[in-house]
Amino acid sequence: MKNFYLVAAVVGAIVPYVFFIEFFMARGLDLVTFIEGVFANGAAGGFAADIFISSAIFWGYLIANKEPGIWRYVIINLLIGLSCALPYYLYVKAAETEPAAAAA
């Protein structure tokens, strides 16, 4: 599973940025237009709300479990997205438990 999480983190970093780059190439670095686009209609707003809520829950989980290096996951979440931050977190956790599993 560890390798799957790593691939998922890479894909989760690349795919959203394909759309972001396309948007900013067409409209420039206009954050107001970007935010308006995120909530352009009910469907887009629903997806945005889902990601915001999921991100907040992920952060709450990290805080509640006193995860070491919490800020790296939060920064990845803010700069790239949950689609990269969550699988990266799962990759790190799998890598931490892998030596123990191999020894058992």
- pTM above threshold 0.95: no
pLDDT tens, residue by residue, 53-96: 999 999 999 999 999 999 999 999 999 999 999 999 999 999 99
Residue 89 belongs to a domain: yes
Residue 29 belongs to a domain: yes
Helices (H), 1-104: 2-27, 31-38, 42-64, 70-79, 82-103
Residue 23 belongs to a domain: yes
Q: How confident is the model at residue 6 (pLDDT cuts 50, 70, 90)?
A: very high
Is residue 101 over pLDDT 60?
Answer: no
Residue 104 belongs to a domain: no
Is residue 104 over pLDDT 60?
Answer: no
Phi-psi bin for 87: left (phi > 0), alpha (psi -120 to 50), beta? alpha
Per the CB < 8 A criterion, the answer to whether 84 and 54 are in contact is no
Is residue 5 over pLDDT 90?
Answer: yes
For residue 26, give its domain range: 2-99
- How many domains, in total, are found in the chain? 1
